[in-house]
């Protein structure tokens, strides 16, 4: 969706006696000889609720140029009720083409400001205005925190754009940033109306549309979560393939059991045991490394039958393997017998050699201990 705003706002005055409405003429800032710094900026600075009664701001600086290695300056800098910094950029009758790039730079500059720096910026602002007040006290009172030491500032940054008209290049970019990057950015349209000798100013949020702002934010958050999940999945797959390559090199030097198995993006790889439906399995996660004998034959009865036959030889098998976990998995189709190393993680490469050593030795013992008992188990009685 793209939004290109034009000065087509309409406002009417109501004549109750005649039961008629008359249009109030809209006008531009330039028509009325209003200027950005001398007028619009002053109006906003002295009206903390200009962007909505529920979004009161504490203005802490104007024409802020305290950025290293740049002469750029932002129009207004404020703190919102969440303690986030709010970068406000004002344009009069036209947003221009490059305002989004401009405010993104300002927000990036502000992201590194510390709590102490923000306090000093605000104190400088108060001193310059000749106001004998404490920045610490004002910020604490605004955020309803008793002690400034407990105040948390600048976890996130917000951007507010205000203009009489927005170009498509701007609205398109803002919508893209909202929908794909969950950036906290709002566009307000400022429209002037004249009636007789009076001038009226209307400030209206147009992006995100106020009535659907919560929905828009939630959808952006959902999209961001999905993107993060996809990126994490790619990372997991790469790590697994890399780990399996190393493990297979190690195990294939000692046994041919996994000779025909390739590295996988899954968290498990399996090799045949010579008995249909029963495999030797390696499994890894963020919490463990595991070897298994896995019974996944066609029916519950067959799997339980094989498990019970093996369990009858438990003591003999564990003489070769050491202690095993025998999981008949009563409410599931499959059964498994496993040996596990805990407190290791695929995501900690420092753990990899320890995991590979365990998995290799455990699997060699399992292969030796289980192959003959598996081959001697008769078929499940029909």
Distance of alpha carbon 78 from alpha carbon 59, whole angstroms: 4
**What CA–CA distance (Å, rounded) separates 226 from 335?**
34
* Token digits of residue 320: 């070769």
Q: Contact, 124 vs 61, CB < 8 A?
A: yes
Structure-token pair, residue 77: 């800098």
- Cα dist from 313 to 45, 215, 292, 376, whole Å: 83, 61, 16, 12
**369-to-103, 211, 372 alpha-carbon distances in Å:** 68, 68, 7
Q: Is the pTM of this model over 0.75?
A: no
**Token digits of residue 118:** 């923000």
Q: What is the pLDDT along the chain (382 residues), one digit of tens a residue?
A: 444 455 566 788 898 999 999 888 888 899 899 999 899 999 999 998 999 878 899 999 999 888 777 778 899 999 999 999 999 999 988 888 899 999 999 999 999 999 999 999 999 999 999 999 999 999 999 999 888 999 999 999 999 999 999 999 998 999 888 878 878 899 999 999 988 888 999 998 988 875 445 555 566 666 666 666 677 778 889 999 999 999 999 999 999 999 999 999 999 999 999 888 999 999 999 899 999 999 998 889 999 999 999 999 999 999 999 999 999 999 899 999 999 999 999 999 999 999 999 999 999 999 999 988 998 886 655 5
Please, which residues bridge with residue 23 across strands? 12
Q: What is the pLDDT of residue 245?
A: 96
pLDDT of residue 221: 64
As given in the structure block, the two tokens for residue 333 are: 């189709």
How many CA atoms lie less than 13 Å away from 78 in the CB half-sphere? 26
* Structure confidence at residue 1 (pLDDT): 43
CATH architecture group of domain 229-376: 2-Layer Sandwich (3.30)
What is the domain partition of the chain in residue ranges? Answer: 11-208, 229-376
Q: Could you tell me whether strands 185-195 and 157-163 are parallel, antiparallel, or unpaired per DSSP bridges? A: parallel
Domain range 11-208, CATH class: alpha beta
Helix, strand, or coil here: 58?
strand
The C-alpha atoms of residue 163 and residue 96 are separated, in whole angstroms, by 9
């Amino acid at each position: 969706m793209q939004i290109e705003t034009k000065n087509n706002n309409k406002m009417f005055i109501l004549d109750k006696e005649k039961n008629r409405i008359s249009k109030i003429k809209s006008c531009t800032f330039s028509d009325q000889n209003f200027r950005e710094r001398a007028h619009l900026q002053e109006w906003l600075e002295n009206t903390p609720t200009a962007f909505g009664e529920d979004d009161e701001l504490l203005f802490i600086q104007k024409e802020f140029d305290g950025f290293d290695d740049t002469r750029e300056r932002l129009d207004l800098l404020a703190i919102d009720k969440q303690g986030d910094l709010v970068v406000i950029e004002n344009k009069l009758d036209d947003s221009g083409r490059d305002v989004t790039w401009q405010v993104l730079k300002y927000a990036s500059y502000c992201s590194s400001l510390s709590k102490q720096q923000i306090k000093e910026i605000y104190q400088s602002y108060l001193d310059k205005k000749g106001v004998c007040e404490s920045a610490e006290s004002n910020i604490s009172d605004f955020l309803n925190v008793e002690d400034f030491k407990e105040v948390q500032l600048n976890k996130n940054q917000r951007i507010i754009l205000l203009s009489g008209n927005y170009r498509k290049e701007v609205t398109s970019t803002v919508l893209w940033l909202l929908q794909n990057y969950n950036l906290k950015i709002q566009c307000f349209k400022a429209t002037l109306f004249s009636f007789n000798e009076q001038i009226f100013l209307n400030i209206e949020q147009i992006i995100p549309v106020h009535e659907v702002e919560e929905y828009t934010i939630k959808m952006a958050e959902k999209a961001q979560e999905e993107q993060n999940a996809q990126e994490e999945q790619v990372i997991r797959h790469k790590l697994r393939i890399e780990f399996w390559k190393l493990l297979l090199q190690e195990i294939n030097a000692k046994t041919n059991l996994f000779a025909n198995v390739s590295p996988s993006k899954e968290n498990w790889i399996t090799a045949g045991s010579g008995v249909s439906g029963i495999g030797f399995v390696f499994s890894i996660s963020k919490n463990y490394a595991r070897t298994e004998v896995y019974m996944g034959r066609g029916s519950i009865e067959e799997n339980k039958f094989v498990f019970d036959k093996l369990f009858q030889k438990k003591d003999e098998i564990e003489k070769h393997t050491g202690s095993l976990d025998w999981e008949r998995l009563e409410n599931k189709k499959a059964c498994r017998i496993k040996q596990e190393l805990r407190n290791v993680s695929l995501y900690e490469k420092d753990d990899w050699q320890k995991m590979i050593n365990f998995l290799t030795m455990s699997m060699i013992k399992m292969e030796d201990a289980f192959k003959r008992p598996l081959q001697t188990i008769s078929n499940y009685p029909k």
